[in-house]
Amino acid sequence: MRLGDAIPKEGSRKRRRRPGRGISAGQGASCGFGMRGQKSRSGRSTRPGFEGGQMPLYRRLPKLKRFPIINRSHFTVVNLETLASLEPDTQVTLQFLQQNRLVQSNRGPLKVLGKGVLNIPLKITASVYSKMAWRKILSAGGSATFEDPASEKNLEEATLKQLLHEVESLLKLPKGWDGYAAEPPNKVALEKGRIILDVSMALEFLPSCVSPSAEGGIGISFLNGQKYADIECFNTGEVAALISNRGDKNREPEVWEVHAKENEIEISLKKIRDYLYTA
């Protein structure tokens, strides 16, 4: 006979526990939890993995040796501040960076990060872009091409989601957020801003920043050096675009009204892009 052969007889049933029904029930008084202490209290005593306050196993393991990351990805990294000194419309690839000694070694596919300011349009081809780098490249009038088209779609969705989150967060502003009596943006301005962001994403011409408007609404700004342009989405549903040059004090800003239709917004965005990146 083996231990595994000692099983209950077919049809037999074990008596259920009846805690708190007196000592004859077998679990009376303290119900099997003892007199006092952490493990005698109601509710769960400790969470899974808790080891009394010492460093638990699931946090100790990554610090131990011989736990390598399987299939680690290695990249040749470059920041935008390194590319800011290039000529406009330069074709930037990993081979170009190596030939011009802008990267010291080839550790794998090219990855572009967003540190620094970029005010010139560049045509960059890389495997990976950070969201900030991708926004800055497109905001400067350049192009960011992916070696893998699937990665481009994922980054577009992530960037658009981030821009929409920035716009939606403006709805939480209180009245008088500017220290005076400015109205916070409402849902009407939010809907107009979404349309503009969708069109700018389709044109690969992303805004530099999104901010509340002192006139009540949302301001979508495009910057390039001393030149800037704003599209104001007011709480009344009106949309106005403004272009100006901060370095020219004698020049009056040019203002025109934009109706929130995709074809007219597209024309306005193209006009802004031509103004910002045309000498």
Q: Which tens digits make up the pLDDT trace of 137-171? A: 887 878 888 887 777 677 777 777 888 888 888 88
Q: Which tens digits make up the pLDDT trace of 207-241? A: 888 888 888 888 888 877 677 888 888 888 888 88
The encoded tokens of residue 175 equal 């009245």
Query: Can you give the pLDDT at residue 111?
Result: 92
Query: Are the beta carbons of 59 and 65 closer than 8 angstroms?
Result: no
Query: Can you give the pLDDT at residue 63?
Result: 67
CB-count burial class (<10 Å; 0-12, 13-18, 19+) for 215: middle
Please list, in sequence order, all residues whose beta carbon lies within 8 angstroms of the beta carbon of residue 84, skipping any fewer than 6 positions away: 116, 117, 118, 119, 120
Same domain flag for 271 and 182 = yes
Residue 113, domain extent: 76-147
Query: Can you give the pLDDT at residue 261?
Result: 66
Same domain flag for 156 and 140 = no
Label residue 62 left, alpha or beta by phi (over 0 means left) and psi (-120 to 50 means alpha). Answer: alpha
Same domain flag for 133 and 157 = no
**Dihedral over alpha carbons 187, 190, 191, 193 (to 10 degrees):** 160
Q: Which tens digits make up the pLDDT trace of 4-56? A: 888 888 899 988 888 888 888 778 888 888 888 888 888 878 888 999 999 99
Q: How far apart are CA 166 and CA 279, in angstroms?
A: 31
Same domain flag for 139 and 162 = no
Same domain flag for 139 and 159 = no
What total of structural domains would you count in the chain? 2
Query: Are the beta carbons of 248 and 257 closer than 8 angstroms?
Result: no
Q: Which tens digits make up the pLDDT trace of 121-143? A: 888 999 888 888 888 888 787 88
Q: Which tens digits make up the pLDDT trace of 184-214? A: 888 888 888 888 888 888 887 888 888 888 8
Query: Can you give the pLDDT at residue 51?
Result: 92
Same domain flag for 108 and 156 = no
Confidence grade of residue 79 (pLDDT, cut at 50, 70, 90): very high
Confidence grade of residue 256 (pLDDT, cut at 50, 70, 90): low
> What is the distance, to the nearest Å, from the Cα of residue 55 to the centroid of all Cα atoms in its chain?
32
Q: How many helices (H) and strands (E) does the chain have?
A: 7, 11
